[in-house]
Amino acid sequence: MIDNGAADSQTRRRRRRSDGERSREAILHESARLATVEGIEGLSLARLADAVGMSKSGLFAHFRSKEELQLATIDTASSIFTDVVISPARAASPGVRRLTAYAERFLAHVRDSVFPGGCFFASVATELDTHPGPVRDRAMAIVNGWVALLEAEVVAAQEAGEIDPSLDTAQLAFELDSYLFLANTQFVVSGDRLALERAQRAVESRLAAAGAEASRD
């Protein structure tokens, strides 16, 4: 025999969990956006509560401390970055084409203001560079993971004969990332899309030069 009372209670509990998860997700998406404008250190439960139209006590139900909020915000920003930059670029074949796609998707997410203050991780890395601790460590792990993705594709391009195998893979990945980082900074300051276009051309030119070096060998 089915206990309708117990079933209804379970349904209500599942609904509350689902509502709570959606609420937490909405809070963290807004938090990630605010962090690129006001800084992740500038995040406060009071400021965020005002932005999402929730009471401060309501936010306390989701986050027990500012650090917990900051860490969860970084994880959310990472998921967004993966969805809009990394995953679409991975549709390209490994090597030079995927490197080019990574650059295109990165610059597109800056141009489209996925985060209003530009790339979340460029913003947070600059802000936290002299603030050691778990928040900086989490952010820098993701930044380093992005650079590692670029380096892995440089290696793939070398193995495919698209790039000179004698080139320093870490150096080339650093150069490519530097173009993107500078374009992000200039675009955020000026709003001029020319910075993004120049960065894309710089990436393609550098990869073409690396390919020409491979052809001469």
Closest CA to 95 of 20, 151, 145: 151
Give the Cα separation of 39 and 33 in Å (integer). 10
Q: What pLDDT is stored for residue 48 in this prediction?
A: 82
CA distance 122 to 129: 11
Q: Please, how many CA atoms are within 13 Å of residue 76, restricted to the half-sphere of its CB?
A: 23
DSSP assignment string, 61-72: TT-SSHHHHHHH
Q: And the tokens for 16? A: 């509350």
In whole angstroms, what is the distance from residue 88 CA to residue 85 CA?
A: 6
Q: What's the count of helices (H) and strands (E) in the chain, helices before strands? A: 10, 0
Determine which of 6-15, 29-38, 174-183 has the lowest per-residue pLDDT on average: 6-15
- What pLDDT was estimated at residue 109? 98
Report d(CA 16, CA 205) in Å as an integer: 53
Q: Which CATH class is domain 4-216?
A: mainly alpha
pLDDT given at position 114 = 97
Q: Mean pLDDT, to the nearest integer, of 22-32? A: 86
pLDDT tens digits, 205-215 = 999 999 976 66
Lowest-pLDDT range of 9-13, 50-54, 78-82, 194-198: 9-13
Give 46-99 pLDDT, tens digit per residue.
Answer: 778 787 787 777 777 778 788 998 999 999 999 999 999 999 999 999 999 999
CA dihedral 183, 186, 190, 196 (to 10 degrees): -10
pLDDT at residue 146 in the model: 97
Q: Indicate the length of the chain as a whole number.
A: 217
